[in-house]
Structure 1
Amino acid sequence: MCGIAGIINKNKNIPISNALSLMTNSMINRGPDDEGYLLFDTKPTHVIGNDSIVKDDKHINATFNYNYKLGFGFRHLKIVDLSNNSHQPMSDVSKRYWIVFNGEIYNYKEIKSELISLGHTFFSNSDTEVVLNAYKEWNSKSLDKFNGMFAYSILDTVENQVFIARDRIGIKPLYYFQNNEQFIFSSTQKAIIDSKIYSPKINWEGLHQNFRFSIAQRPNTCFNGISSLEPAHYLKFNLKNNSIEKKQYWEIPTNTQDLSLSENDALKMVEESLFESINYRLNADVEVGTFMSGGIDSTTIAVMASKEHKNIKCLTLGFKDFNKYNEVNQASDTANLHGLNHIVNYANSNEILKNIDAIITANEEPYHHLSSNYILSKMAAQNDLKVVLSGLGGDELFGGYDVYNKLKLWNNLKNKKQILQLLPNIHQKINKAKQLSKYKDIGQFYSHYYTTFNDNTINQLFKNDVIDTENTISKLYNPSDLNFTDDFEAISFYNLKSYIGNHQMRTIDQFTMHFSVEGRLPLLDHNFIETVYKIPTKFKQKGAVQKYILKQVAKKHIAPSTLNMSKKGLRLPLEYWISNELKEFVFDSISKLKNRNIFNNQVIDTIVKTNNEQKIWQLVSTELWIEKFIN
């Protein structure tokens, strides 16, 4: 929906307007429709920018030489309440509270009604004003009321406090950096760099994690000093003494399975909760479309959404020469079954190569693959969509990945560990079995299956000291040693925390917002998640059938060809491209990387010889990331 930024001077008030303007305009793609600023010393001052829809206040450029304690910056992508009344930064009627808000609160109308009954008045139809008044009424407890995706900051000019919060799953990003003089935050890491307050340097621990898990594990990033506010957390910054208080306000509800549920009960619960989630996300004052890959999750959402939006645009990405990745036929079967407004676009390597700088910029750190979200998001913008639904989350909640099938094998091997260690290493399968048997807990097992480079290779590859990453997942995401009903649930938990909360949310947000499009995720509605966690595992994986209960819902809505299709995943044909159209580009990038004296070049050569496209592209993207952000 938007881009937000903020700068707080800790000790003495100095000029911050220029840096704030640089940060805010760095995010123009996140909010091309409006621009606004708040500057605060002893009293709040609203100022405007070149793109502001209100014109009667001082321009930000006229404040560059003035000293301030704090500043907020805002870029707006208008989705709900298209009038000037939704302009931000927004204040309450008393001018005590000021907010910059990025995201959507889907149940804001219900909360607004409750607030009106408590005596609050409203001048807009925006969800932002609801968030502001909810904070006035309930303070941090207001977070419990919200169903949505969000990252926002509220200034209380009486208490001299800044409140910053992020949604439960981490759909909307919030990064921050602080030194002895200042605390700054933003929707993107690039905006923090563009402030010129922060000089980018490599965070080696974050880069090691990136090579292991495809992304630095939050709150870590690949930039030294930049942190991510964790999902389901809020932060309070005391302007009087510069103290920071950070708390978690929600947790994934593990160990809540209702084992008494029948299959019919489970089916009804999932379908009703999913319909409710989708209907919430169709609420907008602009056109809403949907991604429809051809797989079960996104196709089911597309059909369900079409029952409310009869002519909803359903976008499918295809590959004419790569049937291995192509799901166009399955998507078309369902589209024809329901008369959907089906739009197909075909990907090619030329489009990727000419936009590689934009892709690296959007990623903000190395990534071992080329994301299809770039092309899909561009496709949405080309079809005049400001909002799209996505099917992300189904595999993580219902067990759609191969790792769920490997749980039984792992438990069997653990019980035979002593016997396995006596066997000679005469076959690769024996070596793999021995390795699996060594993992003591589910966090280590999860890490094994979500690895690009293992710790041994990372130690050989990097010339600096490497911090062990084998226990990173469990230490970061389960420090309280939560109880799980079973191992299936534990894998789902870590998938939501690490794969969804870090990797998937970054790519869907960064690429959609790059094209000024908002991505909405019905399967990651927190009420839906809480519903799914009540469903017994036996209905999520029934025998050899993965995602069983979701498929039972889906078969009411989608074509049999979609239901019966083996999992492909929406990926680009990178392994072909790096050996053909991108071959020269890959060679040049790796040659530059070898000249940096960061890595062991012999290990790089060994990796290249494996022809493993993900490992090769990890090296390529690392070079491109260094060129873009560090040099």
Structure 2
Amino acid sequence: MCGIAGILLKDPSADTTREQPRLAAAMERLRHRGPDDLGFYQRPAVLLGHRRLSILDLSPAGHQPMTSRDGESVLVLNGEIYNYLELRRELAGHGHCFRTGTDTEVLLAAFTEWGTGCLEKFRGMFAFALWNNVTRRLLVARDRVGEKPLYYWRDGRRFVFASEIKALLELIPGRPALSPEQLNVYLHYQFVIEPETLLEGIHKLPAGHFLEISVDHWYGDPRQYWDISSIPPIGGEPAATLREVLESAVEMTLRSDAPVGIALSGGMDSGVIAALASRKRADLTAFTIGYPGQYDFDERQDARRLAELLGIPWHSAELATDEFAAFFPQLVASVDEPIADVAAYGHHAVSKLAASHGIKVLLTGIGGDELFFGYDWVREALRLSRIKIHAGQTDSAWSRARASLMRRVIDHPGLLNIAANRRLPEWWRVRVDRFFDYGKIDLEHPDDWVFYQLDYHWKPACRFSEQIFSDDVNRQLPPGSAYRLMHGLTGHMSDPQIGICKLLFDSWLVSNCLALGDRVSMASSVEARIPLLDATLIETVVGFWRAGRTDDSQGHKLWLRAVAKDLLPPQVLNRPKRGFLTPTAQWMAAVNARYRSHLLGGALVDTNILDGTRLRHWMERTPVGLQRDFFQYKLTLLELWSRLVIHGQKPHEIVEAKSARHAVRTHVPQPA
């Protein structure tokens, strides 16, 4: 894994000498992504830069930018092509010769042989830029699910790209404005949904897409080469087939000439990866994070037992609340985008722990919940969306009236408490639960999925954001913009399971989990690898769905448990879902208290994004509780991100608000 950046000027004869300092500054911003080597490529109109984290072929032969044997193409690659050995043998059969042991050289040869069709052959995580000296065309591409990032910006004379926003800003004249619409999206979701960002004009290349830029094709749009909705059906027995594919995925993600570790929680997802990996690599090491005095959130005991059972050396570290609050500005800077997932600190810490033991590659269990329907709320969204499809097909006046009535009941706490009283007879409770389902499906918007509206923080975010935005921002918000993600139900009437999975992949997975995971691991110069998001594994699971096989209604991760039944003990297979747990309420309270004055008198107020008077009134009058605390946490993170990333302030320059010290020690709100 590495860091890449580049500049393409529209004038084909333009001298790039004046652009060199810009690119050098961008590459310095990416030092953490590749501390082992630095390289540049410069020609008229084009500049490419590469920071290398040496994983495959640790020799200088892996230096980038790398030029093809015929001198026609030049490549900078971030990530890994896991099946490079298989592709290398196939390409050798077509007459290609190789000088190095790198996947970079294989990618160059694959493009020479198959053009952009090579993307469909890759199993891996990648973002790359390839310049062709003959066609004078720049190709940028990204892996299927978006494990590796690529940002870009262009105007009438230049196209620039980089692995992180901080680096991209070094290549852009001036500072882009904040987007009011995306600010609103962030406050609803805790992240901005790609391909958008919070900054006007800066975009992410979408996962599973490529973009070609040339003088005569300057404003072309990204083109999709992979879509989960287009996966064909397959036959066979799910458990046996998935076991074979997962073993292959783990074997490929273990390919490394550098030391490999695994982030181990003691649960099924990371456990099955650890069990398979330990059979294939004897030097595997496990790492776990714990929290002092927080038994409900501390998984070290489970992880240690599992590591001992598998014969894997195990290390752990503790994270205290006061340490999190003090480290928060550095964490925000490392994540690069505003992502208000409190689990970021734990992910950052486990990568740092691994790096301290000489690990460069860290396997994780991310993706299991997204691919195997491990989240209760996602299974509930699928169940309710199916009810909505059925109700829409019947389209009776009674269905619409019932939905409208129950939505009003749900929105009225007093009526809701009366109707849902658990002391009432069972026949009443069963009927009320069925009626409540209709109150959640919103038949007035027949094309909207039932999805993020189920989130505990969604409705409060709708109300809170309007209360604290300035009049100017509120005027610029398109009606219903935060709901745009949920559009498209009518296009998946026959396959709602795939539709819900696509929604999850296109939002939460790529814009929260994968974006966060990449940044915090790379902050410690560690490459995170995710076997459960292997392209072939995804296509196998979805292929079974297409064939009418489903596991979403048959219990928690039915297929994955079947795959792991001879790999893990029953206490791991049958452990209730816990996820990546952290002391969320305590951490948010500490951050909110420590940086309260920064938010009230900060850049967001000064630039009229937030109305200072309304914000102060909201903080003073809104009752304490998890919903209010999380919204304030999102605002605080956004304020610090604005200072650190947009305005270039250093983390150590964000001083502690002295008036908040006592609050950190004495006031820790509990969940409502």
Q: TM-score, normalised by structure 1?
A: 0.88
What corresponds to 1:552 in structure 2? Answer: 562
In structure 2, what residue type is equivalent to 1:16? E
Higher mean alpha-carbon deviation, 460-469 vs 208-217, is at 460-469
Higher mean alpha-carbon deviation, 509-518 vs 598-607, is at 598-607
State whether structure 2 residue 479 is matched by structure 1 residue 472.
Answer: no
CA contact (8 A) 1:278 1:522 kept: yes
Q: Give, in whole Å, the separation in 2 of the partners of 1:583 and 1:254.
A: 44
Shift of 1:448: 1.1
CA contact (8 A) 2:258 2:361 kept: yes
Shift of 1:321: 1.3
What corresponds to 1:321 in structure 2? Answer: 293
Cα gap change, 1:211 to 1:177, in 2 (>3 Å): same
Cα gap change, 1:417 to 1:482, in 2 (>3 Å): closer
**What CA deviation, in whole Å up to 9, does each residue of 1:138-192 have, x standing for no partner?**
1111111111111111111111111111111111100001122211000011101
SS in 1 for 2:129: strand
**What CA deviation, in whole Å up to 9, does each residue of 1:1-50 have, x standing for no partner?**
10000011224545211101111111000000000101111xxxxxxxxx
2:192 to 198, 211, 216: 216
1:570 to 580, 592, 616: 580
CA contact (8 A) 1:297 1:392 kept: yes
State whether structure 2 residue 454 is matched by structure 1 residue 449.
Answer: yes
The residue correspondences of 1:239-318 to structure 2 (distance < 5 A) are 239=215, 242-253=218-229, 256-257=232-233, 265-318=237-290
SS in 1 for 2:450: helix
What corresponds to 1:26 in structure 2? Answer: 29
1:231 to 189, 207, 215: 207
2:304 to 332, 342, 345: 332
What corresponds to 2:424 in structure 1? Answer: none
What corresponds to 2:526 in structure 1? Answer: 517
What corresponds to 1:427 in structure 2? Answer: 415
CA contact (8 A) 1:10 1:239 kept: yes
CA contact (8 A) 1:318 1:347 kept: yes
State whether structure 2 residue 437 is matched by structure 1 residue 438.
Answer: no
What corresponds to 1:491 in structure 2? Answer: 500
Unaligned runs of 5+ in 1: 42-68
What corresponds to 2:668 in structure 1? Answer: none
SS in 1 for 2:539: helix
What corresponds to 1:618 in structure 2? Answer: 634
Shift of 1:627: 1.6
What corresponds to 1:9 in structure 2? Answer: 9
Shift of 1:361: 1.2
CA contact (8 A) 1:19 1:197 kept: no
Percent identity of the aligned residues? 28
Shift of 1:246: 2.6
In structure 1, what residue type is equivalent to 2:630? Q
**What CA deviation, in whole Å up to 9, does each residue of 1:107-135 have, x standing for no partner?**
11111112222122221111101111111
CA contact (8 A) 2:362 2:526 kept: yes
Q: Give, in whole Å, the separation in 1 of the partners of 2:454 and 2:370.
A: 14
The residue correspondences of 1:116-127 to structure 2 (distance < 5 A) are 116-127=92-103
Shift of 1:245: 4.9
CA contact (8 A) 2:23 2:170 kept: no
In structure 2, what residue type is equivalent to 1:446? F
What corresponds to 1:541 in structure 2? Answer: 552
Q: Give, in whole Å, the separation in 2 of the partners of 1:550 and 1:606.
A: 47
Unaligned runs of 5+ in 2: 392-398, 421-435, 648-672
1:357 to 314, 329, 332: 329
State whether structure 2 residue 372 is matched by structure 1 residue 389.
Answer: no
Q: Give, in whole Å, the separation in 2 of the partners of 1:538 and 1:84.
A: 49
In structure 1, what residue type is equivalent to 2:373? G
CA contact (8 A) 1:607 1:616 kept: no
Cα gap change, 1:194 to 1:256, in 2 (>3 Å): same
CA contact (8 A) 1:444 1:470 kept: no
Cα gap change, 1:412 to 1:118, in 2 (>3 Å): closer
Shift of 1:608: 6.4
Higher mean alpha-carbon deviation, 201-210 vs 229-238, is at 201-210
Q: Give, in whole Å, the separation in 1 of the partners of 2:230 and 2:220.
A: 29
CA contact (8 A) 1:292 1:298 kept: yes
Q: Give, in whole Å, the separation in 2 of the partners of 1:245 and 1:538.
A: 36
Q: Give, in whole Å, the separation in 1 of the partners of 2:178 and 2:281.
A: 47
Shift of 1:556: 1.7
SS in 1 for 2:330: helix
Higher mean alpha-carbon deviation, 146-155 vs 418-427, is at 418-427
SS in 1 for 2:79: strand
**What CA deviation, in whole Å up to 9, does each residue of 1:295-345 have, x standing for no partner?**
210111111110111341111111231122122222223222222212222
CA contact (8 A) 2:4 2:50 kept: yes
State whether structure 2 residue 171 is matched by structure 1 residue 195.
Answer: yes
Q: Give, in whole Å, the separation in 1 of the partners of 2:448 and 2:275.
A: 36
In structure 2, what residue type is equivalent to 1:618? K
2:78 to 74, 82, 102: 102
In structure 2, what residue type is equivalent to 1:172? K
SS in 1 for 2:467: helix
Shift of 1:349: 2.3
CA contact (8 A) 1:368 1:615 kept: no
Cα gap change, 1:484 to 1:76, in 2 (>3 Å): farther
CA contact (8 A) 1:213 1:451 kept: no
1:598 to 605, 609, 632: 609
What corresponds to 1:627 in structure 2? Answer: 643
In structure 1, what residue type is equivalent to 2:286? C
Cα gap change, 1:225 to 1:135, in 2 (>3 Å): same
1:462 to 469, 473, 480: 469
Shift of 1:444: 3.4
**What CA deviation, in whole Å up to 9, does each residue of 1:588-608 have, x standing for no partner?**
333235844432323444556
Shift of 1:97: 1.0
Higher mean alpha-carbon deviation, 17-26 vs 494-503, is at 494-503
Cα gap change, 1:74 to 1:443, in 2 (>3 Å): farther
Cα gap change, 1:484 to 1:82, in 2 (>3 Å): farther
Shift of 1:270: 1.3
Q: Give, in whole Å, the separation in 1 of the partners of 2:40 and 2:623.
A: 49
Q: Which has the higher helix share?
A: 2
In structure 1, what residue type is equivalent to 2:378? Y
Q: Give, in whole Å, the separation in 1 of the partners of 2:94 and 2:281.
A: 34
Shift of 1:417: 4.2
What corresponds to 2:509 in structure 1? Answer: 500
Q: TM-score, normalised by structure 2?
A: 0.83
CA contact (8 A) 2:335 2:519 kept: yes
